[in-house]
Structure 1
Amino acid sequence: MSHIYQPLMIRSLVEADGTATIRQLAHAFIIQDESQLKYYEDRIKKMPLRILKKNGVIDRQGDLVALKTGKLTFEQRAQIKMLCDQKMQEFIVKRGLSIWDYRLLDTPVSGSVYYEAMKESGGRCALCGATKDERPLDLDHIIPRSKGGKSTKDNLQVLCSRCNRTKGNKDDTDFRKLKQIDSLPGCKFCFTEINPAIVVEEHNSVFAILDKYPVSEGHHLIIPKRHVADWFTMTTQERREGEELIRVLKKRIEIADKTITGFNVGMNTGESAGQTIFHAHIHLIPRRDGDTPHPRGGVRGAIPEKMDYGD
Structure 2
Amino acid sequence: MTKDLLLEFLSDRMSMTDIYQPVVLKELLLNKGLRTKAQLAAALAGHEIAVQEYYERIVMRWPKSTLTKHGMMEYERQGSKFRLVTYPTNQQALNRALAICDEKIIDWIEKKKTRERAPEAGTSVRYDILRLAGGKCQLCGISSQVRPIDIDHIVPRSKANKEGKVRLHGKLIDVNDPENLQALCFSCNRAKRNQDNTDFRRRETVVRDGVSACHQGAGNEAELKVLEGQALISALYEKLEIDYLNLMQTKEDHLRKANLADIIEIVFALGGQSGISRESLLQLVEENRITFGGYEKGYYGRRSLEGQQPIMRRSASLKPT
Higher strand share: 1
Higher helix share: 2
